[in-house]
A and B are shown apart, each in its own frame.
Chain A
Amino acid sequence: MSAPVLVVDDEPQFLRALATNLRGAGYDVDTAATASEALATAALHPPAAVILDLLLPDASGRDVCRELRTWTEAPIILVSAVGEEEEKIAALDAGADDYVTKPFAIGELLARLRAAMRRVAPSGEPVLQVGPIRIDLEKSAVDVDGRRVHLTPNEFGLLRLFARNEGKLLTHRTILREVWGPAYGTESHYLHVYVSQLRRKLEPDPARPRYLLTEPGAGYRLVAP
């Protein structure tokens, strides 16, 4: 038996629907209705991934993330509702990998889950390819569909970070810390402007971005459509 996906939610019908869909997608599933039950189950059957409701009766999502991260690197996907943005960001900063917002399509959750489980440690490859975007790290050169685009050093730093974490949601804080170092200052004020500028150079239609996606209120991710 392969490592299960642990689904944690205090809403029985929702838990049932999720578990059924995940089994249908070929996963083994463990379920838990509270944070303490989730931690006990995870300790018993170390999960391959965790799908975690942000608000549980006995603890917050960020506490569960922090606890899990002390001993497992299994990807954690949060299930949040509108109005829980602050808690969501806190849980992401505490080690969660991604989130979906209720109500969501099961296909979206499965895609996030697959992407999170596929993700591996950054390779030492000198060239990264995300969809039509090709990044030569040694030459600091970027091509889109074979066409060379010229990026400023900040834009290149951003793109390199996104490409190394293809498909992964990067929170604003993570991006700032990784690109500008822990002492980032005024840059945080202009992060969205930097990203828009980069997007203008990569995307054919900036009003309908396909590669560099915004997660409202949370962060950004680079995807290969």
Chain B
Amino acid sequence: MRRLAGSVAAVAAATGLIYALRPIAPTLSLGVIYTLAVLATAVLYGIGFAISVAVASMVAFNFLFLPPVHTLTLADGRNWAALGVYLATGIVASELATRARRRAAESEQREREAALLSDVAAELLQVGGHQELLADVRERAERVLRGADSGARTRLEAALDALLAVARERDRLDEESREAEALRRSDTIKTAILQAVSHDFRTPLATMSAAVGGLADDELSLSETDRAELLDTVGLELARLTRLVENLLDLSRLQAGAAEPHRELWTVDELVAGALAEVGQPERFEISLPESLPPVSVDAVQIQRVLVNLLDNARKFSPAALVELRASAGESGVVLEVLDRGPGIDAGAAPKGVGLGLSIARGFAAVNGAALELGPRPGGGTCAKISLPAEPLPAEVVL
């Protein structure tokens, strides 16, 4: 509709122009002005409208300007000449314009394809794991290809495929090098742990070996007290060795992600009692457990491992002073504090074995949703603070 109106307007404008120029130029030569209208419609609207405008222009020229004016006689050879010129102009011009338009559209299409390809290439370079990206790319390719011919589709798909293949290959190489790096790093960690641990193993083994050797040797004259002492040593070293092996097992479980907590409601009383029974030497610890703390929702075995490691460390660092354990109701749970009078966490190099116990404590605390913080204790020493998630008893539970 707009094209029709445009075409009519073009003929009308040419006619108006001829009227206006008639005083200064011979009417007959002004007929050429209609070619402007034909040209314009040919370029803008294509060959169909150009032919219509050519015919209309010829009719208008004949009717309005060629004598006898206001009649349509085509007997005159000039009419045919004019019509021929208009038609030829229209056909040639519209053909040229169509070609130009097609070329422009094609170059626009190619530009869009190139833009998509370069976008996709950039995104593939940035992100790893391209599976999510693929669906998105396909959708965007469809948008770019809307209205394009099948050649464009083949061309774009081939380019995208090549790009994705490169990305996939790069991913694979990345993955391989990441794996190699992870292996190398875990290997380094394992070597470090093994070195630390083999020392920790050798000490109790050497002690026990010496003690048992003494007991088994007939040539030594040992008093009953001596024998009891040696046996006691063996027992203590065995306990140490046992704890070490347990820690290593815990560590491997944590590292393998196999430490899924089995949460139940426990009282802090019970968790502390279990840990104390395992640590031994009750006289070294001063415990304060207020009544009516809410129960906590944790894996009791794992939290006992946390407490045992914290108590054991504190005792090791604080040989002269009592280790204190205090419980209190905190904002989001029950707070347990293990306090020693050792050198403090930042002072000096940590003796061997501490790292293992502490990292296990951290690991088990984390899987139970319990925050573990270590800080200096006012007046000297370390304060290890763990906050266990509480779950107050519902009102309807009657104890």
**A interface residues with partner B (beta carbon < 8 Å):** 82-83, 85, 103, 105, 152, 154-155, 186, 189-190, 192-197, 199-200, 205-209, 214, 216-217
Contact = CB atoms under 8 A, between A and B. Distances in A.
Contacts of A192: 264-267, 270, 295, 300
A196 B264 CA distance: 14
B289 interface: yes
Interface stretch (B59-67, B154-162, B271-279, B375-383): B271-279
Interface stretch (B40-48, B101-109, B203-211, B391-399): B391-399
Contacts of B272: 207
Contacts of A196: 266-267, 269-270
18 contacts: A82-B249, A190-B295, A190-B393, A190-B397, A192-B266, A192-B270, A192-B295, A195-B270, A196-B269, A197-B267, A197-B399, A206-B269, A207-B287, A208-B273, A208-B282, A208-B287, A214-B273, A216-B274
Interface size class of B (residues with CB under 8 A): 20 to 34
B281 to A, nearest CB: 12
- The B contact surface, by secondary structure, is helix
A211 to B, nearest CB: 12
B70 to A, nearest CB: 107
B132 interface: no
A208 B235 CA distance: 22
B282 A193 contact: no
Contacts of B249: 82-83
A194 B399 CA distance: 6
Among A85, A196, A207, A214, the most chain B Cβ lie within 10 Å of the Cβ of A207
A20 to B, nearest CB: 15
Contacts of A214: 270, 273-274
Contacts of A105: 235
A190 B397 CA distance: 9
Interface string B247-274: 0010000000000000011110110111
Contacts, number: 70
B295 A193 contact: yes
A199 B304 contact: no
Interface of B: 235, 238, 242, 246, 249, 264-267, 269-270, 272-274, 276-277, 282, 287, 289, 291, 295, 300-301, 304, 393, 397-399
Nearest to B267: A196
Contacts of B276: 207-208
A199 B273 CA distance: 11
Contacts of A154: 398-399
A152 B363 CA distance: 39
A216 B303 CA distance: 11
B26 to A, nearest CB: 111
A108 to B, nearest CB: 12
Report the 7 A-B pairs with minimum CB-CB distance, sorted nearest first: A196-B267, A207-B287, A206-B269, A192-B266, A196-B269, A193-B295, A207-B272
B273 A200 contact: no
A83 B245 CA distance: 13
A142 to B, nearest CB: 16
A207 B273 contact: yes
Contacts of B270: 192, 195-196, 199, 214
A186 B300 contact: no
A189 B242 contact: no
A132 B304 CA distance: 29
A18 B328 CA distance: 45
Contacts of B398: 152, 154
B399 A155 contact: yes
B300 A200 contact: no
B269 A200 contact: yes
A203 to B, nearest CB: 9
Given A155-B399, A206-B273, A208-B276, A103 B242 contact: yes
B304 A216 contact: yes
Nearest to B291: A200
